[in-house]
Chain A
């Protein structure tokens, strides 16, 4: 069975602060994919990043960066110099490539990020 845990239910920061959203996953497969999605108040999930289990390079995209560590089964997401527009619910998710692979996403509970001006 696979599981994704986002221990931080809610985070509140002031604009320009850096913030890290934690994601810990469990899976028995050696090949898997990790994702982050953003859900703004409108409700639609917006894809942010996909990472496969063989690529442990950290990634930076503008103010966003991701730290993938297989040794601790974590895939954390950092927003640098946060802005009010970053306020949203953020989901970490996992798919396995093994067995009857059909791309089922297992989601964490989500972290509500509020950035105050």
Chain B
């Protein structure tokens, strides 16, 4: 089945630790996105990538890093510089770049700080 997978479903981070969230899609989509959702709030864009080996900062990129070495993969690293990482993280993709494209979302990863 085609779709977007995110792993793990739950992730626990200790103080000062970097953690990486996985996002994989087999839809052959060009563009991929990472969003953060806090309780009672809408989603905010962290990073996005329109093509392989290229990515751009979104609205809240501080404390996060990404890579896009393969078309199907867009991992997000939450670094120790992110002081409030507890949130629900959602990955999305679109067939092509552009505002007209519909973003399809993965099931999300819930990150908790120990």
Q: Which residues of A does B touch, CB under 8 Å?
A: 4, 9, 31-33, 35, 37, 42-47, 50, 52, 91, 93, 95-97, 101-105, 107-110
A33-B99, A47-B103, A107-B43 given; 4 more Cβ-contact pairs under 8 Å: A91-B42, A101-B99, A104-B45, A104-B48
> B50 contacts the other chain (Cβ, under 8 Å)?
yes
> B69 contacts the other chain (Cβ, under 8 Å)?
no
Chain B 34-65 interface mask (CB, 8 Å, partner A; 1/0): 01000011111100101000001010000000
* Cβ 8 A contact of A104, one of B40, B58, B110: B58
Known contacts: A107-B42, A109-B40. The answer to whether A102 contacts B50 by CB under 8 A is: yes
- Once the chains are docked, how many angstroms separate the CA of A97 from the CA of B104? 18
- Once the chains are docked, how many angstroms separate the CA of A42 from the CA of B6? 13
Q: Which residues of B does A touch, CB under 8 Å?
A: 31, 33, 35, 40-45, 48, 50, 56, 58, 88, 90, 92, 94, 97-108, 110
Known contacts: A33-B100, A104-B45, A109-B40. The answer to whether A44 contacts B106 by CB under 8 A is: yes
Q: Are B41 and A103 in contact (CB under 8 A)?
A: no
B91 smallest CB distance to A (angstroms): 10
For A108, the chain B residues whose CB sits under 8 A away are 42
* Cβ 8 A contact of A103, one of B35, B88, B97, B107: B97
Q: Are A44 and B108 in contact (CB under 8 A)?
A: yes
Q: Are A44 and B42 in contact (CB under 8 A)?
A: no
- Once the chains are docked, how many angstroms separate the CA of A45 from the CA of B37? 11
A10 smallest CB distance to B (angstroms): 10
- Once the chains are docked, how many angstroms separate the CA of A101 from the CA of B94? 13
For A32, the chain B residues whose CB sits under 8 A away are 99
Residue contacts A-B, CB under 8 angstroms, 7 given: A43-B108, A45-B90, A47-B103, A97-B100, A105-B43, A109-B40, A109-B42
